[in-house]
Amino acid sequence: MYIRWIVRGHKNEEVADVTFHDAYLVESYRDDAGRPRQRTISYLGNIRQIGERFPGIERELFLLRAELILGGIAELSDADRKDVLQQLQQRVPPLTEGEVREAFEGNLRWYFRWWQDNGGTPSADEILQMIRNAAQSAGSISL
């Protein structure tokens, strides 16, 4: 099994330096006459590339969706799923720890601005409780 990538340009290439990458899970087989053929097993999703890079949040969402789709394909073994995810990550790398920290801090800044504009900021204790709740719902250790 392998990933077939279909790359499409933006409808208005003069304005937008954007391409779209569609990922398909494909397997090779031989037909009754012995000729090699390919069969699409599943569409795994698409991701937008702006300039030379895939935006971080889009990379994470793409990989999460693909993992969910792969989990629903009964004919794939765990080893096949792992191999396909590795193939996807060669083209669309997962977020680094630094990118996750940067995104988390950016989200916090956005929420704080929103709270300030809409009635005040939660207390430090309330924020810590939100973090505890998130960690607990994710199955992490308690904080």
pLDDT in tens, 6-21: 999 877 767 678 899 9
Sheet of 18-30, strand order: 2-9, 18-30, 36-50
pLDDT in tens, 49-91: 998 999 998 999 999 999 999 999 999 999 999 999 999 999 9
Place of tokens 């392998």: 2
pLDDT confidence band for 143 (50 / 70 / 90): low
With residue 33 as reference, give the H or E element that holds it: none
pTM, entire model: 0.77
Secondary structure of residue 30 in the 3-state scheme: strand
pLDDT confidence band for 3 (50 / 70 / 90): very high
Nearest CA to 40 among 11, 12, 79, 69?
A: 69
**CA 7/CA 90 separation, integer angstroms:** 16
CA 90-95-98 angle, to 5 degrees, is: 135
